[in-house]
């Protein structure tokens, strides 16, 4: 599917109005959000939502997140809203938290990919909010990458994947968070299905009770095991290179990599470590600063592909705060290959 002209416009009142007009006509537009860029369409229009699946090459059974700009929009998408959802909305919206709730009949069926629930989020990014408000519609928006590729954190990443597939990309600069939203289901025991900037501990504090984390966040699904969230069963964030995460200190890492150094072998490391590592490096943030790792990771994975890396050894991130989300994305990019040094 190519041939469509793809416009790339900086965010301003004119481009926001253009995006809103396209969305109201059932078209797909890529928009910046604080997490990653989203591929948006009218969540109430089945044909429009189907265009998202086509543009991404997304499997039909992987549901989309619905983005709203106000609590007034919430009943358009969700019903039987529990008090926990209102507490979490008050604490974390607008922001990088998606809640899975029972869905309304009004939503386009494909949004939920056959489930009777829907993931809903109120983004904080001013451009995303302006587009939703101007369209006057809840917008279904998965990450704006081709299915299986790292999520886009710049408009250029979106262009690389979506050129010829969608009519417009709004350029709002770098995504400030850099990893996708935390997804929590509130149907049954509150359970984190995907870690993000908002942590399970922060959520538990607001709810005043325990919050589970789905096992599939840090371990592969067993053969035949049904995922709590359809996205868990797909290959994700995967560059062309084979990535292995090495658990150990920098000296151990350098020693291990030295024995493997041949053409096509790269390291994914923290800033300032390049001089200690005997193969070419791409960095992803600072060692003790998970927020910088989150903003850099997906871009680094794309860079490794551009450099033609065949085998990549990655320094392991910590797992506290947003570091847990970074670890989860890197684990998936590495197809769960982890080596203790």
DSSP, collapsed to helix, strand or coil, labels residue 29 as: strand
Q: For the sheet containing 242-247, what is the strand order?
A: 281-283, 265-269, 311-315, 242-247, 338-340
In this structure, are strands 38-42 and 139-140 parallel, antiparallel, or unpaired? antiparallel
CB of 88 to ligand AMP, least distance (A): 16
CB of 96 to ligand AMP, least distance (A): 11
CB of 209 to Mg ion, least distance (A): 29
C-alpha span between 268 and 285 (Å, rounded): 10
- Pick 143 or 153: Cβ nearer Mg ion: 143
- Choose among ligand AMP, Mg ion, none what residue 193 binds, the Cβ cut-off being 5 to 8 Å by kind: ligand AMP
- Determine if 181 is a binding residue for Mg ion (CB under 5 A): no
Alpha-carbon torsion angle 76, 78, 79, 85, nearest 10: -130
Interface segment toward Mg ion; rule CB under 5 A; list 112-120, 139-147, 246-254, 326-334:
139-147
C-alpha span between 122 and 98 (Å, rounded): 8
- Distance in angstroms between the alpha carbons of the first and the last residue of the chain: 45
- Determine if 143 is a binding residue for Mg ion (CB under 5 A): yes
- Choose among Mg ion, ligand AMP, none what residue 230 binds, the Cβ cut-off being 5 to 8 Å by kind: ligand AMP
Q: Any bridge partners for residue 242, and if so which?
A: 311
- Determine if 35 is a binding residue for Mg ion (CB under 5 A): no
**In this structure, what token pair is assigned to residue 250?**
């920098």
- What are the φ/ψ torsions at residue 104 (nearest 5 degrees)? -85, 165
Residue sitting closest to ligand AMP (CB): 231
**In this structure, what token pair is assigned to residue 11?**
């965010």
CA 170 to chain centre: 18
- Choose among ligand AMP, Mg ion, none what residue 74 binds, the Cβ cut-off being 5 to 8 Å by kind: none
CB of 271 to ligand AMP, least distance (A): 27
CB of 147 to ligand AMP, least distance (A): 9
Give the footprint of ligand AMP on this chain (CB under 6 A): 62-65, 100, 112, 115, 117-119, 142-143, 180, 183, 193-194, 229-231
What is the contact surface with Mg ion in residues (CB under 5 A)? 143
């Amino acid at each position: 599917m190519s041939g469509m002209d793809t416009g790339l416009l900086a965010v301003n009142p004119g481009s926001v109005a253009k995006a809103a007009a396209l969305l109201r006509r059932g078209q797909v537009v890529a928009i910046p959000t604080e997490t990653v860029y989203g591929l948006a369409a009218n969540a109430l229009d089945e044909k429009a939502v189907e265009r998202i699946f086509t543009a991404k090459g997304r499997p039909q059974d992987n549901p989309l997140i619905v983005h709203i700009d106000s609590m007034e929009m919430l009943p358009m998408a969700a019903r039987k809203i529990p008090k926990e959802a209102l507490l979490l909305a008050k604490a974390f919206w607008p922001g990088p938290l998606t809640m899975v709730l029972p869905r309304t009949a009004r939503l386009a069926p494909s949004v939920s990919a056959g489930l009777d629930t829907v993931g809903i989020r109120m983004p904080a990014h001013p451009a995303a909010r302006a587009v939703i408000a101007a369209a006057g519609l809840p917008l279904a928006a998965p990450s704006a990458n081709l299915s299986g590729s790292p999520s886009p954190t710049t408009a250029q990443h979106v262009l690389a994947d979506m050129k010829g597939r969608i009519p417009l990309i709004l350029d709002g600069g770098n995504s400030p968070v850099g990893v996708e939203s935390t997804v929590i289901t509130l149907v049954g025991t509150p359970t984190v299905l995907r870690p993000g900037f908002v942590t399970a501990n922060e959520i538990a504090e607001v709810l005043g009770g325990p919050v589970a984390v789905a096992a599939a966040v840090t371990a592969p699904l067993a053969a035949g095991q049904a995922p709590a969230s359809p996205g868990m069963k797909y290959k994700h964030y995967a560059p062309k290179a084979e990535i292995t995460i090495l658990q150990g200190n920098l000296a151990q890492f350098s020693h291990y990599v030295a024995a493997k150094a041949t053409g096509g072998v790269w390291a994914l490391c923290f800033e300032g470590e390049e001089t200690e590592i005997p193969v070419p490096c791409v960095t992803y943030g600072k060692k003790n600063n998970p927020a910088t790792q989150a903003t850099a990771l997906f871009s680094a994975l794309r860079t490794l592909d551009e450099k033609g890396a065949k085998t990549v050894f990655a320094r392991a991130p910590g797992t506290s705060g947003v570091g847990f989300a970074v670890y989860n994305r890197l684990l998936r990019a590495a197809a769960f290959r982890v080596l203790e040094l």
